[in-house]
Chain A
């Protein structure tokens, strides 16, 4: 492993059964992401972009091959070890915000840290700081149903950062937003790469957003090729 890579795929195979013939998404994928870089993956629907992201997030296991996160092989890690890895190294942002409706904005951001073992006070301090970073310091106590779509997605982004991950995995983070709000979220994500040295793996259909990253890759037939 190169010291500057945060994510590596080695000979990854992944397919899905069912139907008359199984679908093969990846057969021997080799690819890596260097630290401090932002990469966008584009491609048609059904080519496996989200599956690629889920394997990077250790939410899905490859059928064969190995995925390394922060230099750690993940194939043989148990659920507890994977949870620790996700907490310490990964921040996930989805197309749908997945905010918990029972909790306020600051609670949504703070809880993953509190559950990970950070003290309550430290978790809430960090959450307030991040909610301010995404420009919603006046919305701390609001519940998801009291926020706009763009605000929810910014809170979801703050939640992804609460445990200070090295690698941010974002799946269509602006897919549900209007142009103005989409731009604000894009700026935030790219700013994290440029100013804080985070790495970003972005899956998107939005070519304009993709082109703002350091590299655009197209996923086609199980392979990643420069756009």
Chain B
């Protein structure tokens, strides 16, 4: 089908409409759709920014992509080396994770998550070191604590009123089983503080030396190897590979999906609901386009009758009216996408929120190309579909009746 005559007709009708009736309805539709596209792009960019930045930080700081827990709770250098050699494995770091009470000689105390790392973790896992944000280091060489030293989250240090060089007490209940738990206390020197940008971590984490932590605060199940991957989505495949290569039970390897399922499920749901809510703009504007085009069909019923009389198949003329919807959709998608990308970019470069009040150095925004394309296509589809549905009247025009009425 040659579409050029239809484009010619559509263009001329649009031009004539602009001349005689103004561009009110199509312009309003275009602006409405563009606002929808702009809002969706900007909102999703910020949501993605928060979500992906948070996920990345969570992976690097807290959960890692994979964990391997030795059954006996003892380090296994050979196993560590073997795992590190596997493709896609970026770092394998021995660590402990438990709970403790931190207190100061002046009486400040707070429950904390106690992580144990060896001093050479800085070299083994650059991602962890980067996201941890080692803020101030007053004691010894910069890095993770040596025996007898401890790193505090910056907010925790502020809450407790300690600075690098001060002493703190760490107390924890440890033991091989619940009935054999006994309190352990160590006096440690604050080597420095760290600031991750996540308040919950900065106010609730203490990093101790791995040997101190294992000797004084950890049970056998608290020790594990944190495994970082080049591709976080290859977790399950890599776990299968590691189990096969090392001859270990697959159950010994857990992935970030296992221990964050509920959290990431909630994030996905939040995003989907947001898309539906903002996507309602498309529906509302689609209704506007529908009625606008329906009116256009009625206004052109004489023209349509004439076209039918001179032998033009009415179905072909539907395209003339649908093309206006398509043009509005394309225009709105281009305009809205451009403005949405500009807004997303400016979120990252402008300090829109107070970093002190919101604990954010900047509003994170991350644009995902597939989402941008999807939003643009949804915009074009909604306006084209609305116009196409409205143009159904073209094929139902009573030709003889219209011609006789003149």
Contact = CB atoms under 8 A, between A and B. Distances in A.
Interface string A92-119: 1011101011110000000110111100
A98 B316 contact: no
Interface stretch (A22-30, A81-89, A186-194, A215-223): A81-89
A98 B308 contact: no
Nearest to A78: B313
Contact of B313 (A80, A112, A159): A80
Contacts of B310: 86-87, 92, 112, 159-160, 163
A22 B76 CA distance: 101
Contacts of B9: 111
Contacts of A86: 309-311
B406 A96 contact: yes
Contacts of A50: 404
Contacts of B311: 83-88, 90, 112, 116, 163
Contacts of B8: 111, 114
B220 interface: no
6 contacts: A79-B395, A83-B314, A90-B311, A111-B5, A112-B307, A116-B311
Interface residues of A, number: 34
Given A50-B404, A120-B4, A98 B399 contact: no
B250 interface: no
Interface stretch (B11-19, B124-132, B253-261, B359-367): B11-19
B406 A59 contact: no
Nearest to B15: A102
A94 B406 contact: yes
**9 tightest Cβ-Cβ pairs between the two chains A and B:** A87-B311, A86-B311, A96-B406, A102-B16, A112-B310, A83-B313, A59-B400, A98-B306, A114-B5
Interface in A133-168: 159-160, 163
Interface string B3-29: 011001100110110000000000000
Interface string B373-406: 0000000000000000000000100011001101
Given A98-B302, A102-B16, 15 more contacts: A54-B403, A59-B403, A83-B308, A83-B311, A84-B311, A87-B312, A88-B311, A98-B309, A98-B403, A111-B5, A111-B8, A112-B310, A114-B8, A117-B2, A160-B310
Interface string A60-94: 10000000000000000001100111111010101
Contacts, number: 75
A66 to B, nearest CB: 18
Contacts of B400: 51, 54, 59-60
Size band of the B side of the interface? Answer: 20 to 34
Contacts of A100: 303, 306
B5 A59 contact: no
Nearest to A96: B406
Contacts of A59: 308-309, 399-400, 403
B315 to A, nearest CB: 8
Majority secondary structure, B binding face: helix
A79 B399 contact: no
A57 interface: yes
B399 A83 contact: no
A148 to B, nearest CB: 18
A111 B311 CA distance: 11
Nearest to A99: B306
B406 A98 contact: yes
A114 B16 CA distance: 20
A94 B308 CA distance: 14
B403 A94 contact: yes
Contacts of A80: 313, 315
B319 to A, nearest CB: 11
Interface in B246-272: none
A50 B15 CA distance: 35
A10 to B, nearest CB: 20
A204 B105 CA distance: 115
Contacts of A102: 12-13, 15-16
Nearest to A117: B2
A138 to B, nearest CB: 23
A92 B406 CA distance: 15
Contacts of A112: 307, 310-312
Interface string B303-344: 101111111111110000000000000000000000000000
Contacts of A111: 5, 8-9
Q: Which of B15, B306, B310, B313 has the most CB of A within 10 A?
A: B310
A159 B303 CA distance: 14
Nearest to A102: B16
A94 B313 CA distance: 20
A120 B406 CA distance: 31
Contacts of B307: 112, 115
Contacts of A101: 16
A88 to B, nearest CB: 8
A103 B403 contact: no
Q: Which of A90, A103, A163 has the most CB of B within 10 A?
A: A103
